[in-house]
């Protein structure tokens, strides 16, 4: 139905130019809040009335008359209704609705996607320091970041996925001393056990492999252990490689990949941090006070100036962040999105201030941020707080093992990122309509079952493109076709707003429309042409469900049979 919408937009532009010369650019459709009001709404008359010094309803009446004379409106619109102070509601003819089926069947996996835009976009996400297993917060980050990347790809953008992490510093030193204590035979509770050590079982595993002189390899590094309990540097490097390998395995199980890993330490070894500080000093946006170097970040909207270099000579953590984002810009990424927890909210203003102050022409508002809140895990009505392996938190691997990858990805992307979210293990395991991922996947599996039965009776899916779609007149069929037609616009909005949860809500709407149709009509009827038309609509719905599920990284199963029951929490 996309070509129908474009024809109608052109007709609206022509009608606007007729009643208000030079205003054709105001041609835009909105979606009525209630489906009963129509398929498209036009509010241009109210928007133009003041500047044209005309009554909005009278202007709308003139616009309706001009629209009715347009050939595209005569062909595709069943009715034009003037409402309220100047709303115009368009209700499409059935012939317009039917076009969406052909569009979906012809485009297939490309339905809803845009051609290449030429824009390079970086999505930086997960970015977990290798000090322990990935926790559920990292899981929400991964689900959001990967889905945002997939959304942007549907809009034709060249998406680059990057993982940034600190491979040095206080936390890594703590990891090394914790592992060294285990290598020397100590354990939590012993008198000599370091007070600030990591206590999870994973530390014992790392120590055992180090003592056995194992080699570990991750996507971005490899290291062979010396086995020497006094080799603190080697222990630290081995532990980092070990945990990076574990992160890789978890992310592979989650269906997430990265194009590049960027080390915070490289910003220092490559001289980028010092170069950034020098640029800021030369820009005149820094000053010395009480032995510290400050950035005049208030010049760029921050609530107070920020310390860059402390009196002891060390840099505050936002300085390497600024250096890192300069590197992103210099690598040709004009648009950058960082997926981070809401605890990073305070860094947004100071990083952007630093990027403006260096004077490199970096746009204001660079980078974009998608901030998310942490999640609570519930099972049997109680909060689950501890994983034995991690020692102090629930891991991403726990969620996947307790439920499934599909359930975790769908659930973690199904709510607006800056809202609190409760992951209910019991709900994720339910095989009924209460479980949203089951509800959507069952819709796809149900379609596959009906099409398989039709094929067993001699039906041929290659003939669906020539089906007589005029037979699709039931109210539930109209409602489903309306949902399918909304898919491209929904994708565009969700990508612009970095809102993968919109895709989850859309999937539930399509599934609901499909299940309502299934309950109201028979598909495998004796009337061969009616059956073929309904198979065409089913096939189009199956494709849209598959496409949208793919945006969330969730599978579209042919059936709902489970190979094995999930492990107990």
Backbone angles phi, psi at 369, to 5 degrees: -130, 140
Q: What is the pLDDT of residues 511-547, one digit of tens each?
A: 999 999 999 999 999 999 999 999 999 999 999 999 9
Distance CA 318, CA 324 (A): 10
Nearest 5°: CA angle at 20, between 15 and 21?
90
Q: What are phi and psi of 279, to 5 degrees?
A: -60, -40
Confidence at residue 2, expressed as pLDDT on a 0 to 100 scale: 83
Q: What is the per-residue pLDDT for 350?
A: 94
Say if residue 388 is exposed, middle or buried (CB neighbours under 10 Å; 0-12, 13-18, 19+): exposed
Reading phi first (left if > 0) and then psi (alpha if -120 to 50, else beta), residue 80 is in beta
Residue 428 has pLDDT above 70, yes or no: yes
- Residue 32, pLDDT score: 84
Overall average pLDDT of the 493-511 stretch: 98
Average pLDDT for the chain: 94
Share of the chain above pLDDT 90, in %: 88
pLDDT band at residue 568 using 50, 70 and 90 as cut-offs: very low
Mean pLDDT score, 455-463? 96
Query: What integer is the mean pLDDT of 371-395?
Result: 87
Contacts of 385 (CB under 8 A, 6+ apart): 377, 393, 394
CA 66 – CA 61 distance, rounded (Å)? 9
Confidence of residue 566 (pLDDT cuts 50, 70, 90): very low
Average pLDDT rounded to a whole number, residues 27-31: 89
Decide: 376 and 411 in contact? Cβ < 8 Å.
Answer: no
CATH architecture assignment, domain 436-551: Orthogonal Bundle (1.10)
Nearest to 87, CA basis, from 51, 110, 60: 60
Is pLDDT above 80 for 114? yes
Judge whether residue 564 has pLDDT over 80: no
Residue given tokens 């990057």 in the structure block: 162
Q: Please tell me the class of the 129-269+377-429 domain.
A: alpha beta
pLDDT tens-digit readout, 35-73? 788 889 999 998 898 888 899 999 999 999 999 999 999
User: Whole-angstrom Cα distance, residue 134 to residue 394?
Assistant: 9
pLDDT computed for residue 1 by the predictor? 76
Question: Are 353 and 343 contacting, i.e. CB atoms less than 8 angstroms apart?
Answer: no
Q: Is the pLDDT of residue 386 over 60?
A: yes
0.85 surpassed by pTM: yes
Lowest mean pLDDT among 190-194, 245-249, 362-366, 565-569: 565-569
The neighbour count for residue 234, using CB atoms within 10 Å, is 18
pLDDT of residue 211: 98
The C-alpha atoms of residue 206 and residue 214 are separated, in whole angstroms, by 10
> Domain spanning 271-372 has what CATH number?
3.40.50.620
- CATH 3.30.1360.70 is right for the domain spanning 2-92: yes
Q: Which of 340, 402, 338 is nearest to 367 (CA)?
A: 338
Checking DSSP bridges between strand 260-263 and strand 158-165, what pairing results, if any?
A: parallel
What span, in angstroms and rounded, lies between the C-alpha atoms of 367 and 329? 9
Residue 106, pLDDT > 80, answer yes
pLDDT in tens, 247-270: 999 999 999 999 999 999 999 999
Residues 168, 346, 423: CA angle, nearest 5 degrees? 85
What is the rounded CA–CA span in Å between residue 10 and residue 21?
A: 15
Quick check: 399 and 139 in contact, CB under 8 A? yes
How far separated are the first and last CA of the chain, in Å rounded?
47
Cα 112 to Cα 156, 407, 464, 551, 555: the distances in Å are 11, 24, 20, 11, 18
CB atoms near residue 33 (< 10 Å):
8
Q: Are strands 306-309 and 368-372 parallel, antiparallel or unpaired?
A: unpaired
Maximum Cα interatomic distance, the chain, rounded to a whole number of Å: 89
- The residue extents of the domains of the chain are 2-92, 129-269+377-429, 271-372, 436-551
Query: For the chain, what's the residue count?
Result: 569
Q: Answer whether 99's CB lies under 8 Å from 6's CB.
A: no
Distance from C-alpha of 453 to C-alpha of 506, rounded to nearest angstrom: 27
Query: E strands along 85-242, which residues?
Result: 87-92, 120-124, 158-165, 215-218, 221-224
Name the residue with tokens 């001009």.
66
Banded pLDDT at 388 (limits 50, 70, 90): low
pLDDT at position 567: 37
158-213 residue pLDDT tens: 999 999 999 988 999 999 999 999 999 999 999 999 999 999 999 999 999 999 99
| Sheet architecture: strand order including 120-124 | 260-263, 158-165, 120-124, 335-341, 368-372
3-class DSSP assignment, residue 435: coil
Same fold, 2-92 and 436-551: no
Measured distance CA(11)–CA(5) in Å, rounded = 10
Question: CA of 113: how far to CAs of 8, 152, 189, 272, 498, in Å?
Answer: 21, 10, 57, 38, 16
b/e for 302-321, b at 16 or more Cβ within 10 A? beebbbbbeeeeebbebbbb
> For position 272, what pLDDT does the model report?
97
């Amino acid at each position: 139905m996309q070509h129908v919408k474009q024809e109608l937009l052109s007709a609206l532009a022509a009608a606007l130019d007729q009643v208000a010369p030079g205003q054709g650019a105001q041609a835009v459709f909105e979606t009525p809040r209630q489906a009963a009001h129509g398929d498209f709404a036009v509010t241009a008359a109210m928007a133009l009335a003041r500047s044209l010094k005309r009554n909005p309803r009278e202007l709308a009446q003139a616009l309706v008359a001009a629209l009715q004379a347009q050939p595209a409106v005569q062909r595709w619109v069943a009715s034009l209704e003037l409402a309220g102070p100047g709303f115009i509601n368009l209700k499409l003819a059935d012939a317009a609705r039917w076009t969406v089926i052909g569009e979906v069947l012809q485009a297939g996996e490309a339905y809803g996607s845009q051609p290449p835009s030429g824009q390079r976009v970086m999505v930086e996400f997960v970015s977990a320091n290798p000090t322990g297993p990935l926790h559920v917060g990292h899981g929400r980050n991964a689900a959001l970041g990967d889905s945002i990347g997939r959304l942007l790809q549907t809009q034709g953008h060249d998406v680059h996925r990057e993982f940034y992490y600190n491979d040095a510093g206080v936390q890594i030193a703590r990891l090394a001393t914790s592992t060294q204590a285990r290598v020397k035979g100590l354990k939590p509770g012993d008198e000599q056990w370091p007070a600030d050590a990591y206590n999870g079982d994973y530390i014992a595993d790392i120590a055992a492999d180090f003592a056995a002189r194992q080699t570990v390899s991750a996507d971005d590094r490899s290291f062979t252990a010396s086995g020497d309990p006094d080799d603190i540097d080697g222990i630290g490097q081995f532990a980092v490689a070990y945990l990076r390998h574990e992160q890789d395995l978890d992310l592979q199980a989650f269906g997430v990949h990265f194009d590049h890993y960027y080390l915070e330490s490289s910003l220092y070894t490559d001289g980028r941090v010092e170069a950034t500080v020098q640029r800021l000093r030369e820009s005149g946006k820094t000053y010395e006070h009480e032995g510290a170097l400050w950035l005049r970040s208030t010049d760029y909207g921050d609530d107070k100036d920020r310390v860059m270099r402390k009196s002891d000579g060390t840099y505050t953590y936002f300085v390497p962040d600024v250096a890192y984002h300069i590197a992103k810009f210099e690598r040709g990424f004009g648009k950058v999105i960082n997926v981070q927890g809401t605890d990073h909210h305070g860094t947004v203003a100071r990083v952007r201030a630093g990027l403006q102050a260096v004077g490199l022409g970096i746009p204001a508002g660079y980078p974009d941020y998608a901030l998310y809140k942490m999640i609570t895990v519930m099972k049997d009505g109680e909060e689950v707080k501890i994983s034995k392996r991690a020692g102090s938190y629930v891991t991403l691997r726990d969620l996947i093992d307790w439920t499934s990858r599909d359930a975790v990805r769908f659930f973690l992307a199904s709510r607006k990122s800056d809202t609190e979210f409760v992951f209910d293990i019991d709900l994720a395991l339910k095989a009924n309509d209460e479980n949203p991922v089951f509800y959507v996947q069952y819709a796809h599996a149900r379609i596959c079952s009906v099409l398989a039965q039709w094929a067993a009776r001699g039906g041929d899916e290659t003939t669906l493109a020539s089906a007589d779609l005029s037979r699709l007149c039931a109210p539930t069929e109209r409602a489903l076709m309306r949902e399918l037609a909304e898919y491209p616009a929904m994708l565009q909005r969700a990508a612009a707003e970095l809102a993968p949860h919109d895709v989850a809500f859309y999937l539930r709407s399509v599934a609901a429309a499909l299940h309502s149709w299934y309950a109201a009509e028979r598909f495998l009827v004796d009337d061969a042409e009616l059956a073929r038309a309904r198979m065409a609509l089913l096939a189009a719905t199956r494709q849209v469900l598959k496409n949208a599920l793919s945006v969330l990284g969730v599978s579209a199963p042919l059936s709902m049979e489970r190979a094995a029951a999930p492990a107990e929490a």
